[in-house]
Amino acid sequence: MNNRKIIVFGGTGYYGRRIVAHLVTMRQPVRVLSRNAAKARDILDPEVEIMEGDVTNHRLVVESLKEVGAIVICLSAATFKLIRKRQQIERDAVLDILSEGRKAGIKRLVYVSGYEMRPSVLKALKIPDFGAIMLEIESKIRQSDYDWTILGAAPSFELFFAFFRKGKMAVPGGGKNAIPSIAPEDVGAIVAQTVAREDLNGQRIRMTGPEAYTFPEVAKKIGAVTVREVKHVTLPLGIINLVSLIAYPISTFPRFLFKSLKLLNNFPPDLAQQVPADHQLLKTWFDYEPVTLEAEIRKRLMP
């Protein structure tokens, strides 16, 4: 990578801030566009250039791409506060970035997407719109003349702990299908190394930890590591569906959450079976020490 900056869109987000941190460690010049510059300065290394503004502002997007040599897109609006702007942030702004990036002469592009979205699975679950934005963006990128790499991120280990309270793992739908998961630090390392390399163009790579786990398996693992009894409880997914429909006029986030849980409970078994091979490929291609779920449990629950 030359002295031109790497811009990370979504650089203060859950995965984004880890990407930025690893780029700084690699001594790569980094720029981030943030709605709140003061907050970004509290989160990011002092060496990072921070531009204040919204990614939905076309003029600021154009300005942010000046003197940039590579683009990382890691944008998500999957929060209670931002969910109504999901179309503008995850689709419209990304399409704007793709268009203006090429006008600025930028060739290298890394897009952090979902682990893998299968239209047939989404259609069967009657949530065809859930992955529509990511599928559209991936298609646009594949058709572009960028030197692109798409990285499909598994859910963070954080997902398991979100349902764990006081010795009980209560999961809507049960979570009995095995799913991939990964430490956010590993995502940061892989994405940072990817954007700085020139030999991964035209590839889509799944980012995952060593194994796929069901929620009952994770409950047992937490119990084994902490030497405490952990109970797994299945909550009716229908209740989440009902609440999401009632809340829809006020907030679309519960509906988004329901669709996420529905997909989680129906994760394709063949994809889960491929997790060890996908992880081994990551260890072959990238220089990092993967964080295991056991290590994450110790860090969070055994300080």
Q: Is 288 exposed, middle or buried (0-12, 13-18, 19+ CB in 10 A)?
A: middle
d(Cα 211, Cα 154) in Å, to the nearest integer? 11
In the chain, % of residues over pLDDT 90: 98
Question: Residue 113 carries which DSSP code?
Answer: E
List all residues 6 or more positions away from 101 whose beta carbon is below 8 Å from its beta carbon: 65, 68, 71, 109, 146
Residue 159 CA: distances (Å) to CA of 155, 171, 260, 296: 7, 11, 11, 12
Element (H, E) at 250: none
Q: In the numeric block, which tokens belong to residue 218?
A: 């994770």
> Is residue 173's pLDDT more than 90?
yes
Query: Backbone phi, then psi, for 68, in 5-degree steps?
Result: -110, 140
d(Cα 108, Cα 85) in Å, to the nearest integer? 27
Q: Specify the CATH class of 5-155+183-209+270-291 in words.
A: alpha beta
pLDDT of residue 216: 98
pLDDT of residue 244: 94
pLDDT of residue 283: 97
d(Cα 35, Cα 159) in Å, to the nearest integer? 26
pLDDT of residue 116: 96
The tens digit of pLDDT for each residue in 202-260 reads: 999 999 999 999 999 999 999 999 999 999 999 999 999 999 999 999 999 999 999 99
pLDDT averaged over the chain? Answer: 97
> Is residue 90's pLDDT more than 70?
yes
What region does 45 belong to: left with phi over 0, alpha with psi -120 to 50, or beta?
Answer: beta
What region does 174 belong to: left with phi over 0, alpha with psi -120 to 50, or beta?
Answer: left
d(Cα 6, Cα 121) in Å, to the nearest integer? 35
DSSP SS3 for 5:
strand
pLDDT of residue 2: 56
Residue whose C-alpha is closest to residue 72's, from 94, 56, 87, 54: 94
Model-level pTM greater than 0.85? yes
Residue 209 CA: distances (Å) to CA of 131, 141, 223, 259: 22, 26, 20, 23
Query: Backbone phi, then psi, for 148, in 5-degree steps?
Result: -105, 155
> Is residue 1's pLDDT more than 60?
no
- Mean pLDDT value across residues 120-135: 95
> Is residue 3's pLDDT more than 80?
no
The tens digit of pLDDT for each residue in 12-25 reads: 999 999 999 999 99
- Mean pLDDT value across residues 275-289: 98
Say how many CA atoms lie within 13 Å of 145 toward its Cβ.
4
The tens digit of pLDDT for each residue in 24-73 reads: 999 999 999 999 999 999 999 999 999 999 999 999 999 999 999 999 99
On whether the CB atoms of residues 209 and 14 are closer than 8 A, the answer is no
d(Cα 63, Cα 278) in Å, to the nearest integer? 38
d(Cα 267, Cα 13) in Å, to the nearest integer? 25
